[in-house]
Amino acid sequence: MPNSVRTTFDNAHWQSRLDDLRTEHRVPGAALAVLVDGTIHELAGGILHRGTGVEATTDSIFQLGSIAKVYTATLVLGLAEEGRLDLDAPVTEVLPEFATLDPEATRAITARRLLSHTGGLTCDFMADTGRGDDCLAKYVEAARGVALDCPPGTAASYSSVGYNVLGRIVEVLTGLTWDDALRERIVTPLGLTETMTLPEEALRFRVAMGHLGQEPTAAWDLLPRNAGPYGRVLATAGDVVRFARMLLDGKAADGARVLSEETVTAMRRREVEVPDKWTLGSEGWGLGVSIHDWNGVAGFGHNGSSIGQRSYLRVVPEAGLAFALLTNSGTTDRLFTELSRELLGELGGVQVPDDFAPPSTPPSVDVAPFAGTYRREGVIITVTETDGKLRFVYEFADGLKGIAPAIEADLVPVSENVFAGMNPMFGDDWMPVLFTKLPDGTECCHTSMRVAPKIGAAG
């Protein structure tokens, strides 16, 4: 059980901490909502847009990025609870048109594997299939020719493609678009009046602009409509926490049941362990959420990002604690790490492990075998070895080519197969880079919770 839990929420104290940390880490604007002792508290600070100076308020709308996956998972689990979907049956039973380059792999991909990121489908495949209601159907068709990260069931590799397939399953089983299914089955029953999926729906609200560095992004929304199931829910921090409160017991605030208690419990049960326990600070994946173990205290959550915006959700069921932090760039990961450590400790009795970093005296490791070229859809990773040291270059390719500069870092050993590289995209934080093997012996590089198989030797 959590220790030393303080259930009294001091608005002035937490507003001061949000403002101080936001200023320190040069985050233009941020919104924070916290559920504690049955009450939701909402705070905000800074500005939504450096070009206009509009202030961030608690009713400001941010892009949630991949936290959208939790909403899609909730839709899928609701359909399974109703007996309309077998999580362990091949996806092709609902979507006969679904396919990958490997027919055997196609037959092995289930909704459960997609929910837990073990289906082998890749992440960074983008294809703008238009604004029509058929955009998801067209996306699933376009993804048929995309290579898998790994065979289904052999590793956890974070997959946005998989969540779009799940979104299409929702459409087929409900007869609604994913957007309408979300509205009818989650947004309306939970009274989420500040949650939406389409840009035109956001125009009547105060909306946060993303920033790259300290400059506003060239466009507010750079995602196609088909990104909805994996990356486009728009909401206030308060609405995110109202949604998260339902994931504690399956009920809306008025007592109406949205999911059974058995379903929400299954959602946060670990389905797969992950080798990278640092990117999200998690032990593994449940059904749509990252699973956390903070020195014996269980929790779950998810992170999200879009161009120039980042979002964070954490829930501690034992303490009845949930919070969401929404930001519009700056060194947002550092803001989240420091603020969440305080929130989890003071309100949830949680002792968060130390930040990921190499030891003061790194171990001696034979690094030569790790040199080479690694490839997955949208990304090429080149690892070179010079005088016993590794250099890491992460470049965007395919449909993502040119979306951002390459990431380059010297890798410092943490253990025999885990390395740390300074990630210039997110300030002074260390980025974990892991080298592992699949069951068939394929060498892989793990970054950002994704698997990239080795395709060539160094040089």
State how far the Cα of 111 lies from the Cα of 162, in Å rounded to an integer. 9
Whether 270 contacts 281, CB under 8 Å: no
DSSP line for 356-420: P---SSPPP---GGG-EEEEETTEEEEEEEETTEEEEEEEE-GGGTTSSPPEEEEEEESSSSEEE
Q: What is the DSSP string of 97-137?
A: T---S-HHHHHH-BHHHHHTT-S---S-------SSTTHHH
Integer Cα distance of 415 and 362 in angstroms: 8
Annotated catalytic residue within 66, 290, 311, 340:
66
For 20, other C-beta atoms within 10 Å of its C-beta total 13
Query: CA 246, 241, 305, 54 torsion: positive or negative?
Result: positive
Distances (CA, A) of 409 to 248, 331, 371, 412, 421: 40, 18, 14, 9, 5
d(CA 432, CA 279): 7
The residue whose two tokens read 């077998």 is: 86
Nearest CA among 266, 267, 247 for reference residue 258: 247
Nearest to 422 by CA among 414, 432, 434: 432
In the chain, what is the greatest distance between 2 CA atoms, to the nearest angstrom? 64
Please name the helix (run of DSSP H) or strand (run of DSSP E) that holds residue 443, with its range, or none: strand 443-447
Rounded alpha-carbon distances, angstroms, from residue 214 to 217, 222, 310: 9, 18, 14
Structure tokens at 268: 């946060």
Task: Please name every residue paired with 324 in a beta bridge, in sequence order, or none if there are none.
Answer: 33, 313
Side-chain-side CA neighbours of residue 282 (13 Å):
26
Q: Are 36 and 314 in contact (CB under 8 A)?
A: no
In the Cβ-directed half-sphere of 176, how many Cα atoms lie within 13 Å? 11
Q: What is the DSSP letter of 187?
A: I
Q: In whole angstroms, how far apart are CA 124 and each of 49, 121, 249, 310, 445?
A: 28, 10, 33, 17, 16
Annotated active-site residue 60? The verdict is no
Name the helix (H) or strand (E) containing 323: strand 321-327
Bridge partners (DSSP) of residue 60 are: 206
The residues annotated as belonging to the active site are 66
